[in-house]
Amino acid sequence: MKVALITGANRGIGLETARELGEMGIQVVLGSRDLERGRKAASLLSARGIAAEAVRLDVTLPADREQTRQFLADRFGRLDILVNNAAIMVKDSSSLERREELRRVFETNFFGIVELTQALLPLMRKSRSGRIVNVSSILGSLTLHSDPNSRIYDSKLFSYNASKTALNAFTVHLAYELRGTGIKVNSADPGWVKTEMGGEHALVEVSEGGRSSARLATLPEDGPTGGFFRQDETFPW
């Protein structure tokens, strides 16, 4: 049985990704900043016949990252799938000058992800077909942001958008670093999903929010690496 860790998985897109992977027969480990909420989410999945466990994981905390690595090493001895889903957004400002906001968003959306991934790579190298999915956003596309005809041209939430652009750069560089191995690395855009972050006016139902991540997490041997996708659609960087 393959083993998958999904961060930010006690609700929303992360939980739906865990459900989709679990229904494929994959053991899912739900990372959650609040362990009790993570356990409740795991119980909901277990009630559906899914093999699910929860770990306390705030990706910004070194101790949590190490405890998660140790748990996976002791419990499974490897990691087959890593879905870097945890993210935050500050909606009330697009200012380029609020340094505290920028740093806080980057700590979760970028630095924490990079450091967690680096910590877990030795376990992923033990997998026959490792898959890393960085849950990004179309809002991280510099190509689309610089095009006045793009549908996202006016969606300038600097801290969030810039963090996803940086995450996309990590995808490209990590895929290059892991070329020649069995590990594939891709960025996923889940769409505008009706989560607490996405809001009630979003276009995608929560039940569909995990599809892009689940697809990239289960790519076949001849699947792509180093790309940016929403299901079968390729996005520009």
Amino acid (1-letter code) at residue 118:
Q
Give the max Cα distance, the chain: 51
Q: Catalytic site residue 160?
A: yes
CA distance 88 to 121: 24
Look at residue 235 and give its three-state secondary structure: coil
Catalytic residue, chosen from 2, 40, 91, 164, is 164
**Ordered alpha helix ranges (H), the chain:** 12-22, 35-46, 62-75, 99-106, 112-124, 142-145, 158-177, 211-217
Q: Catalytic site residue 194?
A: no
Long-range CB contacts (within 8 A, 24+) of 169-175: 170/110, 170/113, 170/114, 170/117, 170/134, 171/134, 171/136, 171/226, 171/228, 172/226, 172/237, 174/117, 174/132, 175/225, 175/226
Q: Give the up-direction half-sphere exposure of residue 121: CA atoms within 13 A in the CB hemisphere.
A: 14
CA angle (195, 53, 163) in 5-degree steps: 40
Which tokens belong to 235?
Answer: 């996005």
Question: For residue 181, with 0-12 CB atoms within 10 Å meaning exposed, 13-18 middle and 19 or more buried, which class applies?
Answer: middle
Catalytic residue, chosen from 2, 40, 153, 160, is 160
* Catalytic machinery residues: 160, 164
